[in-house]
A and B are shown apart, each in its own frame.
Chain A
């Protein structure tokens, strides 16, 4: 049943400091960006709250820029903006590839990177890219700013280190050396939640991350190690089997996911050779 929303509040902050003060003083309050996750929940009758904070007017959370080689992407950046960014096409093509496979145009025009990260679904398609490139999540609260390595951001299924009074303001990606690779496997090209999603970087120390194969996005450290130390691709695939824990669910089976994840490692390795 759709949630009746006429009594729900949508609060318009005047500025980022005002928004952060509200996050500190007016809990419970749910931040709203592109609403492509929150409104699905509302329309399904499972509202995450009754008071909401509209982030869209906060220009401090917008923009894509490069400083000292580090690329900073504002939390409110939509996947359409990511797809069109020449800077990202050049320095972070894996994120552009991910952006183009999220939902369909109508979703990409609204869905934000910050929303994908904060929502924390293990199937979030931008997540493996951020994990494989050792991104950093920039959090702000009224008490100040802190930077959390992306690989330490999730603590369990849809759980993060974010405190209730914090907002994601940006994601920062340090310079990436090596060829970037991304692949999403789902039932069709558009509007598909990943069965398995991978992002990887081909370098002397390869970096590989998977989504949809564990409660959180995972860096496949042992697989990376096997490849870095000159092991065969079969060794790497065997290592992968020991470090991911896919499950059976409505979209796929554990067995399928494990098989496909292994195939993706092989494909990554041949295509970037």
Chain B
């Protein structure tokens, strides 16, 4: 079955009713996505489906046909969120971290603390007490905003260049 995985077109053979979580871990070798509860409560299995945060333990593989999936591995290199989780103490044992980061990655760029709390309300953490996580997300959003402004500026130049041509 064809779908986009972390930006690349892939063709993966797996049963249609298999959980996306298991297809990612077992058939795609992407073990960054974790299983906590297996019932939609904890958010450890959060991935982006067409840019929206979803619990991959509740998604049948057949429903991602032709769609785009992004996992923690898809953030590549050192994403501002990953850096901030390290420096702000946003991760301790780490089991919740990939899901936390993917849920944070789906937040609007200038999210208020309230929006961060609501956006991460479906992600449970047994270690940090959440404050380090909120700090990390706010911090990354600061640097992320700058990075986005840079990309936007670049894209803007590209568009003007194209228009000029």
Residues of A within 8 A of B (CB): 2, 5-10, 12, 32, 34-36, 39-40, 42-44, 52, 54, 56, 80, 103-107, 109-110, 189-191
Given A103-B40, A104-B43, also A5-B17 (CB < 8 A): yes
Cα distance A253–B71 when bound, in Å?
A: 42
| CA A8 to CA B119, docked complex, whole Å | 33
Looking at the assembled complex, report how far the CB atom of A175 sits from the nearest CB atom of chain B, in whole angstroms.
31
Cα A53 to Cα B118 with chains together (Å):
33
Q: A35-B60, A36-B58 are in contact. Are A10 and B121 (CB under 8 A)?
A: no
Q: Are the CB atoms of A105 and B40 closer together than 8 Å?
A: no
Q: Which residues of A contact B121 (CB under 8 A)?
A: 104-105, 189-191
Query: Once the chains bind, are B15 and A40 in contact (CB under 8 Å)?
Result: no
* Contact yes or no, B122 A190, CB < 8 A: yes
B43 touches A110 (CB 8 A): no
Q: Which residues of A contact B39 (CB under 8 A)?
A: 40, 43-44
Are the C-beta atoms of A110 and B54 separated by less than 8 Å?
A: yes
- Looking at the complex, which one of A12, A32, A107 makes contact with B40 (CB distance below 8 Å)? A107
Instruction: For the complex formed, measure the closest distance between the CB of B81 and the CB atoms of chain A, giving whole angstroms.
Output: 16
User: Does B62 reach chain A (CB closer than 8 Å)?
Assistant: yes
With CB as the reference atom, state the residue of chain B lying closest to A47.
B17
- Please, could you name 26 A-B residue pairs with CB atoms under 8 Å apart, sorted by A? A6-B17, A6-B18, A7-B15, A8-B16, A10-B17, A10-B60, A10-B62, A12-B62, A34-B58, A35-B58, A39-B57, A42-B17, A43-B19, A43-B38, A43-B57, A44-B39, A54-B63, A56-B63, A104-B121, A104-B122, A104-B123, A105-B53, A106-B40, A106-B43, A106-B55, A110-B54
Complex Cα–Cα for A235 and B122 (A): 40
10 closest A-B pairs by CB? A104-B122, A190-B121, A10-B16, A39-B58, A5-B17, A8-B17, A10-B62, A109-B52, A6-B15, A43-B38
Closest to A8 in B: B17
Residues of A within 8 A of B41 (CB): 191
Interface size of B in residues (CB-CB distance below 8 Å): 30
Q: How far is the CB of B29 from chain A (nearest CB, A)?
A: 19
Choose one: A8, A39, A44, A189; the contact of B59 (CB below 8 Å): A39
Across the two chains, which residue of chain B brings its CB closest to A51? Answer: B17
Taken together as a complex, chains A and B put the C-alpha atoms of A43 and B58 apart, in Å, by 8
Q: Roughly how many angstroms separate A80 CA and B65 CA in the complex, as a whole number? A: 21
Interface centre among A35, A54, A80, A189 (most CB of B within 10 A): A35
* Contact pick for A9, options B16, B46, B63, CB 8 Å: B16
* Residue of B with least CB distance to A40: B39
Distance, CA A52 to CA B61, complexed state (A)? 13
Residue from the list B15, B18, B65, B118 in contact with A105, Cβ < 8 A:
B118
- Tell me if A35 and B63 are in contact (CB < 8 A): yes
Q: Are B62 and A103 in contact (CB under 8 A)?
A: no
From the candidates B16, B59, B103, B119, name the one contacting A35 in the complex (CB within 8 A). B59
Decide if B75 is an interface residue (CB 8 Å cutoff): no
A111–chain B nearest beta-carbon distance, Å:
9
The residues in B between 35 and 76 inclusive whose CB is less than 8 angstroms from any CB of A are: 38-41, 43, 46, 49, 52-55, 57-60, 62-63, 65
Known: A35-B63, A105-B106, A107-B40. A40 touches B58 (CB 8 A): yes
Q: How far is the CB of A161 from chain B (nearest CB, A)?
A: 28
Give the complex CA separation of A251 and B122 in angstroms: 19
Residues of B within 8 A of A44 (CB): 39
A74: min CB distance to chain B, Å: 17
Which residues of the partner chain A approach B118 to less than 8 Å between Cβ atoms? 105, 190
Closest B residue to A50 by CB, please name it: B17
Q: Return A208 CB to nearest CB of chain B, in Å.
A: 28
- Write out the residue numbers on chain B whose beta carbons fall within 8 Å of the beta carbon of A8: 15-17
C-alpha spacing A231/B103, complex, angstroms: 49
Instruction: Tell me if A32 and B60 are in contact (CB < 8 A).
Output: yes
In the docked arrangement, what's the CA distance between A9 and B15, Å? 8
The distance in angstroms between the C-alpha atoms of A254 and B62, with both chains bound, is 42
- Is the CB–CB distance between A106 and B19 below 8 Å? no
**In whole angstroms, how far apart are the Cα atoms of A80 and B118 in the complex?**
13
